[in-house]
């Protein structure tokens, strides 16, 4: 590897699987010291990542985890907010509990981590935050409410924080993946015969994206190569969101 993150300290949420795991492992291979946060235990593996249990919806737990990283390493140069979960419901049958759960997992939790790392990034006068949003933050798919509400909010949070802290050396960008082969998508394909083929056929490249392809975009945004990119969202969906009609 080229060491594009050599000497940097990176914090990645949702690092136990999927896009988070691919990102954390790639960052480690590129020279970063990587701390992964997840409410699930990561599979036992020598992946170069320091895994810790933390629930991003618990502000106190997030603050404690960030302070532990700062105590151990002295700084946090990169934050990747990847943790989140699908919450889909009919709007008129959606419970208040599921509404709150959706916002907590997909928006408020990311804010908890941003708020925890921003003071140290301000002190050092540098930092890169990458929020993993979704194509649901730009386009609406029927039957997916209220997930798009939270992801639109995450894109808005990215832009607002990026402008707020730009003059203080902190960049905030987001990535909006489309259909990616993460474990929950693999499980869906296993349950529903023919779903993989039907979904691949909808995508212009006729294939489904991989977690590693999202991770490489996060790597670029986290690195000094992207030092003039701020308050921007990059869509990774094989061009699907540009198609007007099937």
- What is the band of 1 on the pLDDT scale with cuts at 50, 70, 90? low
Distance between CA atoms of 120 and 117, rounded to whole angstroms? 6
Assigned CATH for 9-179+211-237 = 3.40.50.720
pLDDT value at 245 more than 90: no
Q: Is 244 a catalytic residue?
A: no
Out of 147, 165, 216, 244, the active site residue is 147
Which secondary-structure segment (H or E) carries 165? helix 147-165
pLDDT value at 198 more than 90: yes
Burial letters for 50-76: b for 16+ Cβ neighbours within 10 Å, e otherwise?
bbbebbbbebebbeebbeebbeebebb
pLDDT value at 237 more than 80: yes
Reported as a single tens digit per residue, the pLDDT across 27-70 is 999 999 999 999 988 887 788 999 999 999 999 999 999 999 99
Q: State the pLDDT at residue 182.
A: 95
Contacts of 180 (CB under 8 A, 6+ apart): 18, 19, 208, 209, 210, 211, 213, 214, 236
Domain boundaries, the chain: 9-179+211-237
Question: DSSP letter at 131?
Answer: E
pLDDT value at 121 more than 80: yes
Instruction: Provide the Cα torsion 12, 14, 19, 24; round to 10°.
Output: 30
The token pair that represents 243 in the structure block: 């198609």
Distance between CA atoms of 189 and 179, rounded to whole angstroms? 12
> Please, what is the average pLDDT of the chain?
96
Contacts of 193 (CB under 8 A, 6+ apart): none
Q: State the pLDDT at residue 46.
A: 83
CA-nearest of 109, 16, 100 to 56 is 109
The arithmetic mean of pLDDT across residues 91-105, rounded, is: 97
Does this model's pTM top 0.85? My answer is: yes
Per the CB < 8 A criterion, the answer to whether 186 and 197 are in contact is no
């Amino acid at each position: 590897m080229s060491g594009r993150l050599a000497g940097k300290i990176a914090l990645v949420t949702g690092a136990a699987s999927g896009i988070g795991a691919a990102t954390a492992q790639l960052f480690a291979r590129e020279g970063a010291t990587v701390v992964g946060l997840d409410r699930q235990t990561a599979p036992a593996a020598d992946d170069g990542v320091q895994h810790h249990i933390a629930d991003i919806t618990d502000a106190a737990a997030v603050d404690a985890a960030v302070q532990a990283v700062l105590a151990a390493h002295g700084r946090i140069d990169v934050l990747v907010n990847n943790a989140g979960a699908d919450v889909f419901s009919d709007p008129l049958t959606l419970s208040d509990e599921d509404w709150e759960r959706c916002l907590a997992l997909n928006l408020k939790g990311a804010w908890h981590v941003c708020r925890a790392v921003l003071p140290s990034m301000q002190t050092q006068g540098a930092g890169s935050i990458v929020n993993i949003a979704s194509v649901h933050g730009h386009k609406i798919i029927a039957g997916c409410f209220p997930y798009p509400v939270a992801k639109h909010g995450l894109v808005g949070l990215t832009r607002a924080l990026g402008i707020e802290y730009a003059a203080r050396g902190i960049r905030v960008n987001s990535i909006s993946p489309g259909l990616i082969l993460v474990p929950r998508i693999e499980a869906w394909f296993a349950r529903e015969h023919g779903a993989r083929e039907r979904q691949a056929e909808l995508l212009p490249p006729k294939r489904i994206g991989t977690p590693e392809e999202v991770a490489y975009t996060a790597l670029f945004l986290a690195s000094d190569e992207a030092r003039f990119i701020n308050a921007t969202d990059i869509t990774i969906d094989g061009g699907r969101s540009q198609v007007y009609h099937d």
